[in-house]
Structure 1
Amino acid sequence: MARSPNERTAKTQVVRLGGREVVTEGLNLNFWADISHRCMTASWPAFIGGAATVFVAFNAFFAFFYWIGDQPISNVPGGAYIDYLYFSIETLSTAGYGDMHPQTHYGHFVATVELFTGIFSMSVMTGLVFARFSRPRARLLFAENPVISDHEGERTLMIRLANERHNIISNANARLWLFKNIVSKEGQPLRRFYELPLSRNESPALALSWTLFHVIDEASPLYGLNAEDLGANNIALVVVVSGYDVVAAQTVHARKSYDYPDIRIGHHYAEILDTTEDGRLRVDYGRFHETLED
């Protein structure tokens, strides 16, 4: 079937949702349409590199207008473009060293426009940097593999996590979701999600490690499934943990997703807690991700 002109011009993108890559088509989203979100989600090297590129581009733009004027700036030897570029950097950043300054109405006009642009851009940049630093982030370490083993005499799905900061996250709350492929009665393939009940989904003070337990009984979507069934249904797990960071005085969130190859059936976690000779609690994070066969 031939595509319409709008469909042919729509951009194809590959986006990452958790650990999964998704190809999207037919969405014409301009780069500048959500620039704030792009600035907040970009990595620090990309953010700093983008800010530096914009800074250089702005200065090169205004330096060109100084350069084509009739000696708009004083103390510019020979009227070289690079000198106007230096003056533009001083003006845009509001540094104003004073050795070069506008001396014509044209120069004052361009400098006025650039000063306004500099004040505006510096305000935006300050806000973006503050927002990136002030975002509450939880430093939670999740085990690389969920395990399914017997616990308290029942078949149980277990996921271990730990607080890397070793501070107190009070009223920590965890929720566990399962995603699977199903086919509706009409034969339409669907992706359904189910919340898996946890034996204890709250912790009054998350400081070290915490293991989440979901009992696989007759009511569980995992009941009776083996490793082949997990792959056939394209099973995925998503853990969401939130709580109040008493040091940052903010609510923090963390998320971890697992695909079906990550789930180890018939394994249990290696023990990481013991006591020292003087009676203190010891946590061995070197074995945090280690699993052992039953």
Structure 2
Amino acid sequence: MPFDESDRLHAKTRARARRASLAADRIVALGVRHSFWFDLHHRAVTARWSTFFAAAAAVFVLFNLAFAGLYLLGDDPIANARPGSFIDYFFFSVETFATVGYGDMHPRSYYGHALAAAGAFIGVCSLAVTTGLVFTRFARPRARILFARTPVLAHFNGAPTLMIRFANQRHNMILDANAELWLLQLERSAEGALYRRFHRLALTRNESPIFSLSWTIMHIVDATSPLHGLSADDLAESDASLILIFEGQDETSSQTLRARRIYPLCEVGVGKEYVDILSADESGAAVIDYALFHETRASRPAKTRPG
């Protein structure tokens, strides 16, 4: 594969290709009806914790404000509440929703009993839904996989090789680890139709019985590779993307962990290699330096054997 050992990727070209990346996480969908209530469960499970609790608190307050207004419509429906006091009715509604019922305020009319019963029912249902969502959020397996910011392309064992490094930040054992690398690019059919196509990139090693520290996957760019024949400028101008998918079983929780990372092909560091991050201390324990994890350097020339 012909490429210049120097990094000839220009900033403007890389930015243009990055914006046109085929597998970008940000997607603009046209012609689709969007609604706040559309796929509400997915939104609740994937939202940030701060957003989730803020939304839950807002819904709780709004429901109680609505019930306080309904109590105001009645003829003194709550005993020991000041007649027409919105704040007393609000806190009575809060007690009913939370099913605490302190006892100093209680319904004394059919209207008050009916509203309290409705409020208690909604409160119990809301508690069940919130508990289920919180459990689902906690129970979701999350892989703490750290991916290198950029792939690199350099000679390894005499062959041009695409490399991507990633690490397990928990340092626990992940069993039956598996990695897949795909190339996503636009192609044109014989009829002239433009379509997206996935190409699996063969790895020198795509499986590992245990994974606890770091792993650098390698794809040899030979005649069978979709990247064969591309120069550094071709890579810089490409709008194709690399998709790295990791999967393994967490030994601690016995759950399947998955993680992915998408790289615009224009971000490949041509003629670069990763800085070493693994070493051993005096006791023989493995030391991994995350401060250097994303660092790259110019690739070293292959050592020639003495004649």
- How does the TM-score come out when normalised to structure 1? 0.91
- Aligned residue for 1:157, secondary structure, equals strand
Give the counterpart of 1:35 among 14, 20, 40.
40
Q: CA deviation at 1:17?
A: 9.4
The CA deviation at 1:275 is 2.0
- Cα distance in 1 for partners of 2:218, 2:280 equals 24
| Whole-angstrom distance in 1 between the partners of 2:215 and 2:107 | 65
Distance in 2, Cα, partners of 1:177 & 1:229: 18
Does 1:177 pair with 2:177?
no
Deviation at 1:210, TM superposition (A): 0.6
Choose which of 58, 62, 67 in structure 1 pairs with 2:63.
58
Q: Does 1:264 align with 2:269?
A: yes
Structure 2 unaligned regions, length at least 5 = 1-20, 300-307
Deviation of residue 20 (structure 1)?
Answer: 3.8
Corresponding residue of 1:88? 93
Q: Tell me the CA shift for residue 67 of structure 1.
A: 1.4
Alpha-carbon displacement from aligned partner over 1:116-175 (angstroms, at most 9, x marks no partner): 111111100110111011100100000111001111221111010100001010111111
Which structure would you say has the larger RCO, counting Cα contacts within 8 Å and 6 or more residues apart?
A: 2
The CA deviation at 1:231 is 4.0
Which of 126, 129, 150 is 1:124 aligned to?
129
Residues 179/283 of structure 1: CA separation in 2 closer, same or farther (3 Å cut): same
1: distance between equivalents of 2:31 and 2:113? 47
Q: Which residue of 2 is the match for residue 248 of structure 1?
A: 253
Look up the equivalent residue of 2:111 and give its one-letter code. Answer: Y
CA displacement at 1:19 relative to structure 2? 4.4
CA–CA distance in structure 2, aligned partners of residues 78 and 68 of structure 1:
11
SS in 2 for 1:23: coil
Give the match for residue 4 of structure 1: none
Which of 203, 209, 218 is 1:213 aligned to? Answer: 218
Q: Is the 8 A contact 2:238 2:266 kept in 1?
A: no
1:230 Cα offset (Å): 2.3
In the superposition, relative to structure 1, how do residues 79 and 17 fare at CA in structure 2: closer, same or farther (>3 Å)?
A: farther
The 8 Å contact of residues 183 and 189 in structure 1, kept in 2 or not, is answered as yes
SS of the aligned residue for 2:256 comes to strand
Contact persistence 2:147–2:167 (CA under 8 A): yes
Query: For residue 48 of structure 1, what is the aligned residue in structure 2?
Result: 53
Offset of residue 26 of structure 1:
0.7
Query: Matches of 1:282 and 1:30 in 2, distance apart?
Result: 50
Task: Tell me if 1:160 matches 2:165.
Answer: yes
Question: In 2, are the aligned partners of 1:181 and 1:233 still within 8 Å (CA)?
Answer: no
Among candidates 119, 137, 145, match of residue 140 of structure 1: 145
Separation of aligned partners in 1, 2:245 and 2:291: 24
1:233 aligns with 2:270: no
* Partner residue, 1:190: 195
1:229/1:142 CA distance change after superposition, 3 Å: same
Instruction: Please list, as runs of the form range in 1=range in 2, the aligned pairs for 1:279-294 lying within 5 A after superposition.
Output: 279-294=284-299
Report which stretch shifted further, 211-220 or 188-197: 188-197
2:197 aligns to what SS in structure 1? strand
Q: Which runs of 5+ in 1 are unaligned?
A: 1-15
Alignment match, 1:25? 30
SS at match of 1:193: strand
In the aligned structure 2, how far is the partner of 1:119 from the partner of 1:196? 52
RMSD over aligned CA atoms reads 1.7
Query: How far did 1:185 drift?
Result: 2.0
The alignment partner of 2:37 has SS state of helix
Report the equivalent of 1:71: 76
Letter in 2 for 1:90: E
TM-score scaled to structure 2, two decimals? 0.87
Deviation at 1:18, TM superposition (A): 6.6
Report the Cα distance in structure 1 between the residues aligned to 2:32 and 2:116, rounded to whole angstroms: 40
Q: 1:183 to 1:40 in 2, by over 3 A?
A: same
CA apart distance, 1:96:
1.4
Q: Number of residue pairs matched?
A: 279
**Mean CA deviation greater in 180-189 or 134-143:** 180-189
